[in-house]
Amino acid sequence: MPAPAPILITGASQRIGLHCALRLLEQGQPVIASYRSERPGVKQLQAAGAQTLFADFATEAGIEAFIATLKATTPTLRAIVHNASLWLTDDAEDALQRMLNVHLRAPYLINLHCAELLQHGGPADIIHISDDVTRKGSARHIGYCASKAGLDSLTLSFAARLAPAIKVNGIAPALIQFNPDDDAAYRAKALSKSALGIEPGAEVIYQSLRYLLDNPYVTGTTLPVNGGRHLK
C-alpha cells in the first residue's frame, strides 16, 4: 500500500504550527513543514520524521522559490495548511507589504500553483489559519487585521474555484496560548475578553484542523475558535 500523501504546514517551527505538525506525525501522517528561522522546533520536527523546507514568504521571490522547492520535493499533497504568520506594528518598516506577502500573497500563489498537487482523486484540503480579530477590526493593528481579513476572502474564493475536488476552509483563533513573558495583568485582561475565560492551548487548533480534514461536507467556512469572544 503506498504511503499517504504529505500534509504541508507552513510556519511550523513553533507554537500552533509545531503542535499540529507533531500531532499529525503521531498519527502516522507524513508532514512537510516550512520554517523561516532555525528554531529548536525545526530539529524537533526532523527528529519526528517531518520533511522541513526553508521559506521566506515576506518577499515574492521567496514565495516563488518555495513553490519550486515544494514541487521538486513531492508529487502529491493531502492538504495545505497556511499557518505562516507575521505580526508587525503599523509603524514598522514595510509592515503592511510584508504582512500582505505572508498572509495573502503566499497563500494565493501557493494555492494557484500547487493545487495540482492536491488533484489526485482522494480527499484534499486547503486550510487557512486566520485570526478572530478580523471579526471586528483592530484600531491598534490595522495592517495585521487587514491582511488576515484578505485571507478570509481567499477561503471563500478558492472554495468556489476548487470545488468539488478540494475543500477550502479556515480557522480563526483568538487567544490560544500565552508567551512565557506575558505578565499576570496582561493574562488577566486577555482572559476576560472571552466568555469561557481560559487559555486552551494549541490542541484546540489541532482538533479544529482534524475536523476540517475529516468532514467531507464542509467548504468555504471559517471556523471561529475564540472561547466565545463574540458574546462579550
CA–CA separation, 187 vs 23, rounded Å? 27
pLDDT above 90 covers a percentage of the chain that reads 98
Task: Decide: 10 and 31 in contact? Cβ < 8 Å.
Answer: no
- Reply yes or no on whether the pLDDT at 7 is more than 80: yes
User: What is the reported pLDDT for 3?
Assistant: 83
- List of E strands, 139-203: 167-173
- In this structure, the strands spanning 222-225 and 7-9 are unpaired
- Reply yes or no on whether the pLDDT at 2 is more than 80: no
Whole-model pTM: value is 0.97
- Reply yes or no on whether the pLDDT at 83 is more than 90: yes
Instruction: Give the pLDDT confidence of 39-65 residue by residue, as tens digits.
Output: 999 999 999 999 999 999 999 999 999
Q: What does pLDDT average to over the chain?
A: 97
**Exactly one of 35, 144, 206, 217 is catalytic; which is it?**
144
pLDDT above 70 covers a percentage of the chain that reads 100
108 is annotated as an active-site residue: no
Instruction: Give the pLDDT confidence of 163-203 residue by residue, as tens digits.
Output: 999 999 999 999 999 999 999 999 999 999 999 999 999 99
State the DSSP code for 102.
I
Mean pLDDT within 141-170: 98
- In this structure, the strands spanning 79-82 and 7-9 are parallel
CA–CA separation, 59 vs 53, rounded Å? 16
Please, is 210 exposed, middle or buried when counting C-beta atoms within 10 Å of its C-beta (0-12, 13-18, 19+)?
Answer: middle
With a CB cutoff of 8 Å and minimum separation 6, the contacts of 49 are 25, 30, 31
Mean pLDDT within 142-161: 98
User: What is the reported pLDDT for 72?
Assistant: 98
Mean pLDDT within 191-218: 97
- Reply yes or no on whether the pLDDT at 1 is more than 80: no
Bridge partners (DSSP) of residue 82 are 128
Mean pLDDT check: name the lowest of 11-15, 160-164, 177-181, 219-223.
177-181
